[in-house]
Each structure stands twice: as C-alpha cells, then as structure tokens.
Amino acid sequence: MTRRVLVTGASGILGRQLQARCPQGWTVLPFARSELDITDRQRVREVIAAAKPDAVVHAAAMTRVDDCEKEVDHTFRVNWIGTQNVAEAAAAVDAHMVHLSTDYVFDGTKVGPYLEEDPTGPLSVYGRSKLFAERAVQSSCRRWAVLRTQWVYGPGGTNFVDTMRRLGGEGKSLQVVDDQHGCPTFAGHLADGIYRVLDEDPGSGIYHLSGGGATTWFQFAREIFRQTSLEVEVSPCSTEQFPRPAPRPANGVMRNYRLELSIGDPMPAWQKGLEEYLSLTQHASP
C-alpha cells in the first residue's frame, strides 16, 4: 500500500530532494510556498484535510538567518506560527508530523557534540523562532518527530559548495572562517534519512540528523577544492574578521545519538555527501 507524504517548502533544496529520492511505497504531495502560505491557518487546514496525508514533512521556513535579525515579526510568523498551523492541521488528520529544525537552537558553548537532550539557548532571532516551532510541534501532535540538521546544501539553491567552486574557479585567494564547527549535510542524504525515520518510526521525539563527522567552514572549503581538483589559495580566519548580523554558534556539531540508539544512524560521513553532490553537479556551472 502506497503512503502519501505532504511536503511543505517543496521548491526548496530539501523539498526538491524529498521528491527526487522518494522511495518505493511513498507518494509525494509537494506544496511550494506559492501554493501554500503556511501563515494562513485556514488555508493550511483545508489543504491538509483534503489531502489526508499519512505524513507531513514540514520543510518550509524563513532560513536567511541574517535577514531574520531585521525581519523579526515575519520570522516568528513563518517559523513559529506557520509551524503551529501545519502541526495542528497534521494532527487533525492524524498524520505523522516531521519538522525540520536546526543547530541554532543551541548557544554553541558546549565542548563536544550536542545531544538531543542538551539544554538549548539560541543566540539569534532565527534560532529562537525555530525553538518556539519545536515546542509548537510537541504540544500539537500525537505522532511527531523534530529533526535538527545543519549546513544543508544541494541542487536548486544557493549554497556554500557552489560559492566555493565559483570563487575557486576565478583564481582568487580566499579567507574562510575556521572557528565555527558543524556538520555539512547533503540534502539528498537528509531526504533519505527522513524517509528512514518515517519508515521505521523510532517514536515521537527530538532527533539530530546531520552529516556524519564534523568540520569547520575552512576545512569544508579545502575538501571542496580537493575533491574538485581546484588549486586555490585558501587561508583560515576568525568569525570576528567577517561579522554578520546574526550570531552563529561557534560549536554547532550535533551527534545523531537517538537514531544511533534506536534505528541506527542513517547519515553517511559528510565527505561522502560532498562527493555525491559533486557527482550530480559536475557538468553544471557552479
């Protein structure tokens, strides 16, 4: 029997991969932002009630973290209230609600990788809005999973990998931040992990779902150039040298610990994600 998964944010990087990598036994019902405004509570309820999906993967969000600092009300309206609208509508049809969250719910001061039950302490508007969204899902749904991920890249949108390839191809010397730590996550592997969670259902809860291992933006850039055989002069720098409106957690590394203990960590090493992404895009202009 084929099950149906409704995907919000279907035109985004993750939404595209959820469609492209949909496994046997599932059918995707994609809704882009232009088709479903998640801040319209009545519209969201009508769409999900009519679709009667078995699962909802909520990938729509305001993710431009620096813009979030300037557009505070809009950010909370989309990320918090929009998520609450989707969660309530999913609960009304007893769909399995899967919500994508972020390492920005942490303050980045921990030594070592964050586990799911570690205390949160977001530093930014984006992080606070996503933490509020997590709580909305937990309070609204009977069957739910909050999946925290980070440093996501993939086809169909602007991302760090393509930016490095473009700048590297221009022969410029580069400085890249080396004091922010995280787990690069290929959207294709993230989509595979989401379907694994839906298929094996480890139970309602918060789960980390990021690329395996950890690195810095500088080391990530070096690996991009190594895998693409680009000769680029790249040197490390500090966050203070490139200040941005939204503070970033210095340590955003998350271990996929609950999945390790329940169904097994479905995420390959981040270097494998990069390799697969580059193989998909090697003939495309970065």
Identify the structural domains of the chain with CATH numbers, from first to last.
3-158+184-213+252-269 (3.40.50.720)
> Which residues, other chains included, contact 122 with Cβ-Cβ below 8 Å and sequence gap of 6+?
104, 105, 106, 107, 128, 130, 131
- In this predicted structure, the answer to whether residue 203 has a pLDDT above a threshold of 60 is yes
Q: Could you write out the DSSP letters of every residue in 5-30?
A: EEEESTTSHHHHHHHHTPPTTEEEEE
- In this predicted structure, the answer to whether residue 33 has a pLDDT above a threshold of 70 is yes
> Within a 10 A sphere around the Cβ of 184, how many other Cβ atoms?
28
Return the closest-CA partner of residue 132 out of 101, 169, 170: 101
For residues 239 and 268, what is the distance between their CA atoms, to the nearest angstrom?
Answer: 28
Q: Are the C-beta atoms of residues 86 and 37 closer than 8 Å to each other?
A: no
Give residue 284's pLDDT band: very low, low, confident or very high (50, 70, 90): low
Residue 104 known to be catalytic: no
For residues 14 and 150, what is the distance between their CA atoms, to the nearest angstrom?
Answer: 12
Q: Which residues of 187-212 are buried (b: 16+ CB within 10 A; e: fewer)?
A: bbbbbbbbbbbbeeeeeeebbbbbbb
Q: What pTM value is reported for the model?
A: 0.95
Average pLDDT, integer, range 176-185? 96
pLDDT at 185: 98
- In this predicted structure, the answer to whether residue 283 has a pLDDT above a threshold of 80 is no
For residues 166 and 263, what is the distance between their CA atoms, to the nearest angstrom?
Answer: 39
Return the closest-CA partner of residue 11 out of 20, 2, 3: 20
Catalytic residue from among 126, 153, 195, 277: 126
> Within a 10 A sphere around the Cβ of 255, how many other Cβ atoms?
19
For residues 193 and 276, what is the distance between their CA atoms, to the nearest angstrom?
Answer: 15
Q: Are the C-beta atoms of residues 148 and 209 closer than 8 Å to each other?
A: yes
pLDDT at 271: 98
- In this predicted structure, the answer to whether residue 1 has a pLDDT above a threshold of 90 is no
- In this predicted structure, the answer to whether residue 285 has a pLDDT above a threshold of 90 is no
Quote the mean pLDDT of the chain: 95
The mean-pLDDT minimum among 105-109, 168-172, 220-224, 252-256 falls in 168-172
Residues in the chain: 286
